[in-house]
Amino acid sequence: MGSRFDITVVAENETEGNSYIDMAIGEIQRIEKLISSWDQNSQTSAINRNSGIIPVQVDPELFQLIERAIAISKLTDGAFDITYASMDRIWKFDGSMTEMPTPEAIQASVSKVGFEHLILNKADQTVYLDLKGMKIGFGAIGKGYAADKAKALLIANGAKAGIINASGDMNTWGTQPSGEDWEVGIVNPMNKNKVFAVLPLHQGAVVTSGDYEKYVKFNGIRYTHIINPQTGYPATGIISATVFAPKAELADALATSIFVMGIDVGINRINQLPNIECILIDEQGNIYSSDHIKIEKE
């Protein structure tokens, strides 16, 4: 998935621990073959190749993942959208951009984006993109989903505790050998070599999306690498969004969405969802949190 996965398990001995880790790696590789748009043999690539042509029959697992992705799109009013992969890549965050793209180019870049063009047929288990050239991608949900599946497999096979870290998508279960909860540090976006908060995590997931490395600045405005799939403009205002949720898949999608929704709308939406919390940091370093998280400043 183009991402680093770190797997930690609590086990009786090294042999058992290595067995669990191999099991998790196998599951992550299986998920990658299902959802990767880079692998021409994946079902996801088949959906993209046949956009505007014919529906593609897929495994129930992929069908259900896409169903949940559409549900999150509706929940976030389109701030999350797996058809973002249809976007023209007109924004560059490698230092090569010297001027803003034109409004016309930005509008054209999202002309084939829109989850409402993703047609599912439950009876036939088919997926159809009804515009030629449309694509889906799981960049904002796939790592979290893989972490969830690896965790579930290990629990089913008797692993008492552990952490799946999918490039910052942290998914935990059980406790440390000492009996204490796992603790997760949230990176300080003003100094990425430090953490600004350490929080206990028990039986859940935490995901942080940050733009402190990938952004461009024009006319004094900082544009992040997270782009609004509806408008084609990069998100502004937030530099770090951390979401706590029962599953990494949902936390992953919501952390990305909040950048697009903004602080007020994002926190309001999170406050309406059970068992989900967030911590946001704006460009000035101000910290905001949802109703049930209290930040004690040292």
10 by DSSP, 3-state: which? Answer: strand
Q: What tokens appear for 267 in the block?
A: 């926190």
Mind listing the pLDDT tens digit for each residue in 130-186?
999 999 999 889 999 999 999 999 999 999 999 999 988 899 999 999 999 999 888
Per-residue pLDDT tens for 31-46? 999 999 888 999 999 9
List, for residues 232-249, the tens digit of each pLDDT value: 999 888 989 999 999 999
pLDDT averaged over every residue in the chain: 92
| Element holding 197 (H helix, E strand) | strand 191-201
Contact 154, 32 (CB under 8 A): no
CATH class of the region 43-129:
mainly alpha
Distance CA 76, CA 177 (A): 39
CA max distance for the chain:
61
CA distances, 40 to each of 34, 43, 57, 66, 138 (Å): 11, 8, 16, 19, 15
Stronger pLDDT, 216 or 272, i.e. the higher one: 272
Residue located via tokens 């050998």: 177
**Entry pTM:** 0.91
Q: For the domain 181-289, what is the CATH code?
A: 3.10.520.10
**Which sequence spans correspond to the domains of the chain?**
43-129, 181-289
What's the length of the chain?
298
Helix (H) or strand (E) segment spanning residue 256: helix 248-261
**Cα separation, 172 vs 231, whole angstroms:** 35
The torsion angles phi and psi of 163, rounded to 5 degrees, stand at: -135, 130
Beta bridge partners of 129: 118
**What is d(CA 80, CA 73) in angstroms, rounded to the nearest whole number?**
5
Handedness of CA 153, 159, 161, 165 (dihedral sign): negative
**Going by C-beta distance under 8 Å and a sequence separation of 6 or more, which residues neighbour residue 187?**
194, 195, 196, 208, 210, 240
Instruction: Give the three-state DSSP class for 46.
Output: helix
Q: Do 170 and 205 touch, CB atoms closer than 8 A?
A: yes
